[in-house]
Structure 1
């Protein structure tokens, strides 16, 4: 009987030693939030910057701090031409290390790849992809009974949904599919999936412009 109790005690002590204290700051109804401290058993602290654009104008620029899994320590972007979303999550692994108030956005350097993008109902225009955007994306968004088709460039991390649990849910439905290859998001695309990151993009745009 003593041995199982000793094992439980040792595992509890190990958990406390191996856990990490991180700053937590999650915006809800605005771009600002109140910073608190939280225990993170995953062993990573993260500072995530989410920036949305409409053309050359910045619509929203938010900083969020929280625990992060290793696969969430990445940069994810989706560019639909007129609208763009950039999510950059910088991680560290010491107590209260996520003190950053600014995170540098990825450089906008064309990588030679192109994807189709939509201008209204015309989706024959091509869009140059930049930085690590090595996938083409095609999405249909449903909001208030209206359907909107969007196409553009995206990173693999955006298509996989690596940062999905960090962002939170949106009430706007989005059917999304990604493919890898020059102009592959035409009439047919592969790797069909349903994620809500696109809904987050449209949600941010709508809330900012209302």
Structure 2
């Protein structure tokens, strides 16, 4: 009887020794949230800045903190012409190491690559890609039976995974394809592309980033 109890005790101590304590802070809006401490059995601590731009204006700028898996510790961005979202998640692996409240802003420097983008229903316009955006994307999104096509520049990290999962809304279905190469996402006309839908789409994605 003593041996199984000893095994349970050792296992509990081992689990505690490998549990990471991280700050957690998940705001519902751009307003600063209150930090708490959480136990993270696996992974790392993350501090993520998510910024959404509509034209030249900042639509939302949030700092979030939480436990992070290694694959989430990336910088990702999607530039769809009128709207751009930038996600910068910096990770660390010591207790309470994600204490920083300021992360570097994107440099916004064109890298020489271009992709097609949609303006209204016209998808023949070209868009200069910025910073680490080295892929073009074409996504078809269905929201409440309304179909729109989104095109633009993205980082490779943004292409990984399912766009429907990133959006996280049951009323939205999405299909995406990424390619690497100058203007590789074709210039065919979109079925529909409205700015207010685009803003809603990226806002929904922003809510599911951490």
Report deviation, 1:183. Answer: 1.1
Shift of 1:133: 0.8
Aligned residues of 1:141 and 1:149 also touching (Cα < 8 A)? yes
Summarize the Cα distance change of 1:7–1:98 in structure 2 as closer, same or farther, 3 Å threshold. Answer: same
- Cα deviation digits, residues 95-132 of structure 1 (max 9, x gap): 11111211112212222211110111111111111211
1:152, distance to aligned residue in structure 2 (A):
0.2
Deviations 1:8-46 (A, max 9, x none): 332321110111111111123554433211001124110
Normalising by structure 1, we get a TM-score of 0.81
1:48 aligns with 2:48: yes
Summarize the alignment of residues 130-141 of structure 1 with structure 2, pairs less than 5 Å apart: 130-141=130-141
Secondary structure of 1:48's counterpart equals strand
Q: Tell me if the contact between 2:168 and 2:204 (Cα under 8 Å) persists in the aligned partners.
A: no
Q: Secondary structure at the match of 2:94?
A: coil
Answer yes or no: is 1:170 the counterpart of 2:169.
yes
Counterpart mapping for 1:1-210 below 5 A? 3-28=3-28, 31-161=31-161, 169-171=168-170, 172-186=172-186, 200-203=201-204
**Comparing 29-38 and 50-59, the one that deviates more:** 29-38
**Match for residue 193 of structure 1?**
none
Q: TM-score, normalised by structure 2?
A: 0.81
8 Å contact from structure 2 (residues 135, 156) kept in 1: yes
The root-mean-square deviation of aligned C-alpha atoms, in Å, is 2.7
User: Is the 1:141–1:199 Cα contact (8 Å) retained in structure 2?
Assistant: no
5+ residue gaps, structure 1, are 189-197, 206-210
Name the SS for the 1:34 alignment partner. Answer: coil
